[in-house]
Structure 1
Amino acid sequence: MSSSAPVFMPRFGSSSSLTAPSAFSPGLENAAATVLARLRACRWNMADGCTGITRELPAREGEVLRSVPNSGAGPRREMEMLNWVGVAEGGARGAALAPVMRRVNGHWCSDHRASNTWGFWCKRPPAMDEGQPLARNRMPYNVSDPHFVVMALSVPGSGHGGVAFQASKAEEDHAAELALSNNRPQARWTDADGQRIVLTAPDTLAPHQPAVITICSRPGAQSLRVNGRIVAEGEGTLGRGTFSQMLIGWGFRSFFPNEGFGGYVYGAITGRGVPEPQELELLERYLGESAGILL
């Protein structure tokens, strides 16, 4: 077997970070928890994935993933990621499939490689106005609000394109997306007026090599980071556009599903606001550990 090919390992029992010894360095995990609390950010570790819509059924190697709890500082149960599709769903588009749990090179991840895989979904009312920006049980941000997304992912080959993370509204076209285009990381924003900002990394992701990708937006400034390094920047100011859902591994806009990037997801973090540079670096290091990379 090639040294660059993924190695799958069976899962015996639960290694969920909610119930088992942590897979992260204690100091790093404590520091990340402090940053998540300050930002009230959501965090989804795929190692915490379950086969049902409860946390009592931790997924084993090869089992279908139905839920991933929010282990960050945002509303816990309210921000759980779910997957409800059955093998016969999808209508004319063909059978929709759920992701499955994998352990790749010793690290747990959700597997989105199968064609027409629908990923995870969290639907909540839109964020409220400035008077109540931290209301529970609501989306943390809209398209014009300062926000960030950090993801650890990998691709099994070349030419991958599609959504890795999306904040959007199912009935509308506006969105904030972390995506891939021909294996190149992308940050994409579209507001309700049709203004579009796209940042694309100059280099492609190498197959089987995990990466930490970060997108950030605030009025007048957007950025795309790969493994802790800024690779593209923008200077746009986004207009109106409310969000009512977040999705991992795929998207859903204007009443139709959006194709996912077709790879592995190790974890994701998102929140409202602009982290300090050292805070963002810490969160990237934290998710990097979940995928086996040191930043």
Structure 2
Amino acid sequence: MNTTKDVIVLTGAGQLGMAIVRRMAYGNKIFVADWKIENAEAIAETLLEAGFDAVPFKVDISDRESVLELIKEAQREGEISMFVNAAGLSPSQSTKEHILQVDLYGTALLLEEFGKVMKKGGSGVTISSQSGYRMPALTAEEDRLLATTPAEALLNLEMLQPDKIKDTLHAYQISKRCNGKRVMAEAVKWGERGARINCISPGIIVTPLALDEFNGPRGDFYKNMFAKSPAGRPGIADEVANVAELLMSEKGAFITGSDFLIDGGATASYFYGPLQPENNEEDSQ
């Protein structure tokens, strides 16, 4: 008897991605993919212990062959009906070149390739960041290039050359700006398959990495950031999952190509409140 299930693929094995798949993946096969297999194994084990059907998989989202191998393995289990991308590097984790390779090119590659295989009626979300909202506006042509340039040519754009990217924060911000623009353009292509794709841009969310930051040398900076936001606190992964659940379920059937900012109002405070840059150190998240 054929017992194939629909498949949900998670790239980026962390608390955010796990919170989302726990909402959406019951009854489905879950591929938990990460460039560190031990991370994928840890999240898959937690899901298995909670009764889900999950397997770990090693993937490098900045390598097309690696992404295609992930898709190939997932399709052996069934049709891919949901996709969650929560992979990425922060400004403090690597070089500006590596951040562009993973956060910008890698996300574009995932959206491009998964858009070719999604099941009719399927849906996806990619996790971006509030940081994409904090960079000065780009021109309409620059936005168009970020949105529509084929993934393999993206890093050749003049605006993304190393001499144009001043530091890792700039690389991170333009990557996140690009994520939102790619989702808009890819939503048109995904729609041809009857599938939807959206973007979520979280602010400071409590995760093991964030807790390390709160207790580290920049802890006061982060605490000040959320203290001066309207919500007055950081978010939690399940609050991001609340938004993802709407977007990925039939309740969000009319939503595609959109970016949802979920940051407790920190971006509002950054532009129009006590977090305005002239009064504070430049934000890095």
Q: Please identify which structure carries the higher helix content.
A: 2
TM-score, length of structure 2 as denominator length: 0.30
> Which one has a larger percent strand, Structure 1 or Structure 2?
1
Q: TM-score, normalised by structure 1?
A: 0.29
